[in-house]
A = this chain, B = another copy of it.
């Protein structure tokens, strides 16, 4: 192998600095200085990306499994799509944000871009396969050339976790299931004190019409309303009037509406009795639809988690029905943690088939941040491995083949087992490693055990141990695992 022309930078200056290393003999070899002379090489991951070390992955995998369990509970299947799409597949779907799309270099052939979200590839998939009905989840990474703020968990490469129901179904039925499922997921990942803000895109449009907003100003005004969760009314009003040239009296009328929020049935009753929407057939129809939704949410016991909030607007243009956003409070103010809505026209953008859809995306990176912070706060060491048994020898001589035979009988019985990669390992070093790995069971032997064809089985959880005949090893370990609920 030729000598590489690389000068390393110290790892502490790079974006990933921690990792978990199982116990092993220290590495002694250091490279000779001649590499130092070579050209500068920056040892790092690309801007806005990061590695996940085993500790982070342990938290992530548990989180993904938890969420998948919820998806499967509702009968969802999963699909996978390529990490890049033809550029034209993405074109015209993200509005202004299109500038954030990562393009692949034109190396001859097709022009491709990394996926920006999972919804557009899903719509492309449904259109292309002419799927008429599918309930699918998809957990995968997406790419945005945004300005990364790593400390706030904003990356250029990050996971999305989507659930969507595509198909022609009765009014509000899949919509209601989506809201219920968000609640189940947040409960499953132990996010407490959240609220699901809910509104309807067509109700907003009807309100804009009632207030006198010109129709071609609906979307711009809608996107101004969307800022109400971060900015006070005075600023939003200013944007409406000064930037979006809305008549100030119209803006003031809008305020009466967007200030309304409350429990689903209560606010519905309040709007109806106030007569505020009586002049709009559209508004009356949407309120009737919402009443149907609220009944279903009540039947599923989640109406009390929902806040009917006329100020919720959601940024994306493609929503056509209900929209919702789960907001977590208390937990160090992370804000929005799941969001979605109904989009009936997106699939139709790819072909002759129109498949109405509703779904949501879980803010998995934010949940991950919360869980990581919690783990840090609790100060508990996170178990990265799934090892149940550590096999060790007491005497520092070559008994490796004995250990391998013992390990093999455990492996072949499906039991997660490790041992030290040393021919003549030191007894206390092995014990140290076993404890560091947080292994619940240790199998050990010395000269005495070998002679009597026995083994010592150590239960590190309850700090007990017993001598067992060697040929009963697997049965004894299985019994102990059952006893310890492993």
Contacts and interface: CB of A to CB of B under 8 A. Distances in A.
A128 B43 contact: yes
Given A75-B387, A104-B102, A31 B127 contact: no
Given A129-B19, A296-B404, A318-B1, A157 B82 contact: yes
A44 B437 CA distance: 48
Q: Which of A43, A385, A421, A423 has the most CB of B within 10 A?
A: A421
A355 interface: yes
A214 interface: no
Interface string A18-33: 1111111111111100
A376 interface: no
A69 B57 CA distance: 16
Interface string A103-136: 1111101101010000000001101111111111
B105 A77 contact: no
Q: Which of A83, A167, A404 has the most CB of B within 10 A?
A: A404
- Specify the main secondary structure of chain A where it touches its partner: loop
Nearest to A102: B104
A45 interface: yes
Interface residues of A, number: 137
Copy total for this chain = 2
Contacts of A408: 180, 299-301
Interface in A163-178: 165, 167-171, 173-174, 176-177
A415 interface: yes
B354 A45 contact: no
Interface in A1-39: 1-2, 4-6, 8, 11, 14, 16-31, 35
20 contacts: A1-B345, A6-B350, A20-B77, A21-B134, A22-B133, A24-B132, A29-B348, A42-B88, A43-B351, A45-B81, A45-B86, A51-B82, A54-B78, A57-B78, A77-B384, A83-B141, A105-B106, A170-B421, A296-B401, A300-B408
Interface of A: 1-2, 4-6, 8, 11, 14, 16-31, 35, 41-47, 49-54, 57-58, 60-61, 69, 72-86, 88, 92, 102-107, 109-110, 112, 114, 124-125, 127-136, 141, 143, 145, 157, 165, 167-171, 173-174, 176-177, 180, 184, 295-296, 299-301, 317-318, 320, 345, 348-355, 384-387, 400-402, 404-405, 407-408, 411-412, 414-418, 421-423, 437
